[in-house]
């Protein structure tokens, strides 16, 4: 279910024209499409928010850019964040009502069509299931849940209520990612994928703190399941509230592995520890190695391996995903300036290579890799030596091949979150296919959370195919 063609990332012609509307054929067809969209966009969708902290604000400010949304309610147990969101919406002429309890908002705001959930992960299922049962469509942030059984309940409830459930792996709606997947799956730019790797390095200040005088009192903290204000604010680092950094950061990128391979993994081994910070429960560094068996890439079926590295002690290397294959490699990141493509020297030159951007920026590989001379040079004493001997120590030697710049989509300059919310709203208004429905989010949650189990078990753990079925 999670790896059907609809969700496998190929840009539909229509989507492609939307993002490349300013060039080529798009110039002719775009007005027709825009006209159709303008009609559908006039359908008002009433929206409520549950959880408006850091990410809730990001989603709110992005959603404000979508025409004909009416923001009617905001629920957050922390009056400080709730008040900020309500005031922001008022500024943009949305007189939304503020609530402490999400249940009260769902009960009173009967005309809400869609709810955006951005609470800490452990509350995703409770809020999502309640909203779906109240007849609302739900956009819920990742990680879907830190508990697989609760994630399953979210999917089953969306199926039973026939309400939409979009999970916040926003790369799935990012035109640059869709194009990269298209290059790999349809244009075969890497040939047969043989190895994947990705990582996120973040030098994270552990205590996010809170403004003085804005503390929740002890009774409120207790009522909502947080023992202290510090844990309430730093929920990511505690097992009750979160799946840890592999869920927080890794889930975005490991999701892309499954997407590119159109498969769920067969096994994972991992190591990690809470080695550098004190007073937290989740691992501050993780190394994981996945195996996907029998990956069908249009010929013989192969095992593909993929490495994932997470560091919360350094920002070295940033965050990106790398796909390596027999004909080339592709690097992409949510940071649009990072990455690029390389085609092996021996790979036949494809027409689409002409459309690719030239290498640029600090991450670019050189346009032309130096040719390594085959013939032996003569030394003074007449002996032959390898050309490699001439390579100076300290110089990096680029692999031979044709290098290109980061994947770009003409005319696309939106924030990374907006297209994913737009996809959710388009699904409500005009029946567009969700790019990350609950079933896909579930597949990713199962894939990712097993890393924590593998660290505890200190051995290779296998996935059973039925584990991925919600
Ligand atoms: N897609 C992304 O790129 C991305 C980025 C950051 C965070 N996130 C996700 O967004 C979610 C929120 O993360 P954050 O960084 O904004 O955390 P945060 O702590 O800044 O915000 C969480 C908010 O939820 C509220 N809350 C807690 N319990 C609640 C409850 N029972 N009912 C209503 N509100 C409640 C808190 O008061 C707070 O305002 C997480 O699931 C996180 O994984 C996604």
DSSP state of 387: G
Write out pLDDT tens, residues 382-430.
555 554 555 455 556 678 899 999 999 999 999 999 999 999 999 999 9
pLDDT tier, 299 (very low <50, low <70, confident <90, very high otherwise): confident
> Of 245, 285, 263, nearest to 146 (Cα)?
245
Q: Can you give the pLDDT at residue 206?
A: 74
CA dist 382 → 378, 379, 392 (Å): 6, 5, 21
Three-state SS for 362?
Answer: coil
The response to whether residue 436 sits with its C-beta less than 6 Å from ligand 1 reads no
State the CB neighbour count (10 A cutoff) for residue 314. Answer: 12
Hey, whose CA ends up nearest to atom 38 of ligand 1? 53
The response to whether residue 170 sits with its C-beta less than 6 Å from ligand 1 reads yes
Q: Which tokens belong to 404?
A: 């290109």
pLDDT tier, 48 (very low <50, low <70, confident <90, very high otherwise): very high
Q: What percent of the chain has pLDDT over 90?
A: 79
Which ligand 1 atom is nearest residue 75's CA? 33
Which ligand 1 atom is nearest residue 126's CA? 31
> Of 36, 456, 25, nearest to 282 (Cα)?
456
Three-state SS for 287?
Answer: strand
Q: Can you give the pLDDT at residue 156?
A: 98
Of 28-37, 303-312, 352-361, 420-429, least confident by mean pLDDT is: 28-37
Q: Can you give the pLDDT at residue 35?
A: 53
Beta-carbon contacts of residue 420 (< 8 Å; ≥ 6 apart): 139, 166, 168, 169, 170, 172, 173, 174, 435, 436
- Decide: 355 and 363 in contact? Cβ < 8 Å: no
- Find how far residue 336's CA is from the centre of its chain: 14
pLDDT tier, 42 (very low <50, low <70, confident <90, very high otherwise): confident
The response to whether residue 224 sits with its C-beta less than 6 Å from ligand 1 reads yes
Which ligand 1 atom is nearest residue 224's CA? 31
HSE on the CB side for 201, CA within 13 Å? 6
Ligand 1: which of 48, 53, 445 to mutate, most ligand atoms within 8 Å of CB? Answer: 53
> Of 273, 253, 69, 111, nearest to 177 (Cα)?
253
> Of 198, 162, 158, nearest to 177 (Cα)?
198
- Distance CA(116)–CA(136), nearest Å, equals 10
Write out pLDDT tens, residues 329-358.
999 999 998 999 999 999 999 999 999 998
pLDDT tier, 360 (very low <50, low <70, confident <90, very high otherwise): low
Three-state SS for 198?
Answer: strand
- Decide: 275 and 221 in contact? Cβ < 8 Å: no
The response to whether residue 142 sits with its C-beta less than 6 Å from ligand 1 reads yes
Write out pLDDT tens, residues 110-123.
999 999 999 999 99
Beta-carbon contacts of residue 117 (< 8 Å; ≥ 6 apart): 50, 51, 124, 127, 128, 131, 138, 139, 140, 141
The response to whether residue 419 sits with its C-beta less than 6 Å from ligand 1 reads no
pLDDT of residue 177 exceeding 50: yes
Of 283-287, 364-368, 411-415, 421-425, least confident by mean pLDDT is: 364-368
pLDDT of residue 257 exceeding 80: yes
Beta-carbon contacts of residue 278 (< 8 Å; ≥ 6 apart): none
Hey, whose CA ends up nearest to atom 11 of ligand 1? 118
Which ligand 1 atom is nearest residue 81's CA? 39
Any idea which residue has 């790999």 for tokens? 184
Three-state SS for 445?
Answer: helix
Extended strands (E) in 365-422: 377-378, 384-385, 401-404
Q: What percent of the chain has pLDDT over 70?
A: 83
Which ligand 1 atom is nearest residue 100's CA? 33
Three-state SS for 60?
Answer: helix
pLDDT of residue 303 exceeding 80: yes
Q: Which tokens belong to 222?
A: 């207790």
Distance 448 CA to ligand 1 centre (A): 19
pLDDT of residue 365 exceeding 90: no
Q: Can you give the pLDDT at residue 399?
A: 81
Mean pLDDT of 272-295: 96
- Decide: 275 and 269 in contact? Cβ < 8 Å: no
Q: Can you give the pLDDT at residue 1?
A: 44
Q: Which tokens belong to 73?
A: 């309610």
114-117/137-140 β-pairing: parallel
Q: Print the SS3 string covering 212-238.
A: CCCCCCHHHHHHCCCCCHHHHHCHHHC
Three-state SS for 372?
Answer: coil
Torsion of CA 137, 141, 146, 148, to 10 degrees: 40
- Decide: 334 and 310 in contact? Cβ < 8 Å: no
State the CB neighbour count (10 A cutoff) for residue 214. Answer: 12
The response to whether residue 53 sits with its C-beta less than 6 Å from ligand 1 reads yes
pLDDT of residue 283 exceeding 80: yes
pLDDT of residue 34 exceeding 60: no
- Distance CA(131)–CA(147), nearest Å, equals 19
Start-to-end Cα distance in the chain? 10
Q: Can you give the pLDDT at residue 398?
A: 74
State the CB neighbour count (10 A cutoff) for residue 93. Answer: 8
Of 23-37, 39-53, 223-237, least confident by mean pLDDT is: 23-37
State the CB neighbour count (10 A cutoff) for residue 421. Answer: 25
Mean pLDDT of 8-29: 31
- Decide: 72 and 46 in contact? Cβ < 8 Å: yes
- Decide: 405 and 358 in contact? Cβ < 8 Å: yes
- Distance CA(116)–CA(119), nearest Å, equals 9
Q: Can you give the pLDDT at residue 234?
A: 97
pLDDT tier, 366 (very low <50, low <70, confident <90, very high otherwise): low
For the chain, domains (ranges, CATH) are: 5-173+416-438 (3.40.50.720), 175-412+445-468 (3.30.360.10)
Q: Can you give the pLDDT at residue 454?
A: 98
**Interior angle at CA 95, CA 91 and CA 100, nearest 5:** 105
Q: Which tokens belong to 402?
A: 């044709």
């Amino acid at each position: 279910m999670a790896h059907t063609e609809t969700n496998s990332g190929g840009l539909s012609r229509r989507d492609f024209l939307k993002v490349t509307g300013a060039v080529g054929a798009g110039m002719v067809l775009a007005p027709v499409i825009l006209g159709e969209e303008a009609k559908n966009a006039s359908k008002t969708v009433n929206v409520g928010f549950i959880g408006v902290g850091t990410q809730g604000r990001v989603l709110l400010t992005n959603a404000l850019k979508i025409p004909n949304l009416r923001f009617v309610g905001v629920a957050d147990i922390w009056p400080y964040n709730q008040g900020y969101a309500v005031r922001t919406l008022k500024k943009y002429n949305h007189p939304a009502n503020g609530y402490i309890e999400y249940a009260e908002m769902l009960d009173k705001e009967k005309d809400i069509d869609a709810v955006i959930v951005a609470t800490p992960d452990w509350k995703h299922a409770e809020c999502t299931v309640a909203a779906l049962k109240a007849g609302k469509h739900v956009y819920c942030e990742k990680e879907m849940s830190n508990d697989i059984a609760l994630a399953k309940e979210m999917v089953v409830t969306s199926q039973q209520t026939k309400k939409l459930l979009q999970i916040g792996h926003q790369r799935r709606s990012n035109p640059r990612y869709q194009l990269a997947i298209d290059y790999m799956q349809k244009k075969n730019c890497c040939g047969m994928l043989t190895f994947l790797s990705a990582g996120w390095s973040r030098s994270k200040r552990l205590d996010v703190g809170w403004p003085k005088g804005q503390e929740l009192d002890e009774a409120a903290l207790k009522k909502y399941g947080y023992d202290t204000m510090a844990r309430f604010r730093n929920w990511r680092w505690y097992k009750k509230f979160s799946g840890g950094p592999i869920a927080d950061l890794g889930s975005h990128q490991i999701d892309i592995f499954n997407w590119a391979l159109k498969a769920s993994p067969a096994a994972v081994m991992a190591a990690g520890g809470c080695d550098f910070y004190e007073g937290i429960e989740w691992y501050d560094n993780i190394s994981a190695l996945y195996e996907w068996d029998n990956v069908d890439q249009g010929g013989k079926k192969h095992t593909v391996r993929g490495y994932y590295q997470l560091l919360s002690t350094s920002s070295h290397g940033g965050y990106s995903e790398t796909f390596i294959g027999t004909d080339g490699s592709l690097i992409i990141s949510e940071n649009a300036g990072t990455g690029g493509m390389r085609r092996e020297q021996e790979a036949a030159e494809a027409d689409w290579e002409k459309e690719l951007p030239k290498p640029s920026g600090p991450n670019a590989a050189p346009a032309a890799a130096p040719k390594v001379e085959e013939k032996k040079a003569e030394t003074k004493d007449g002996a032959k030596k390898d050309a490699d001997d001439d390579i100076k120590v300290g110089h990096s030697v680029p692999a031979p091949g044709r290098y290109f710049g980061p994947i770009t989509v003409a005319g696309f300059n939106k924030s990374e979150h907006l297209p994913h919310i737009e996809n959710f709203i388009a699904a409500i208004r005009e029946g567009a296919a969700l790019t990350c429905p609950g079933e896909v989010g579930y597949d990713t949650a199962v894939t990712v959370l097993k890393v924590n189990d593998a660290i505890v078990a200190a051995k290779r753990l296998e996935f059973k195919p039925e584990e991925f079925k919600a």
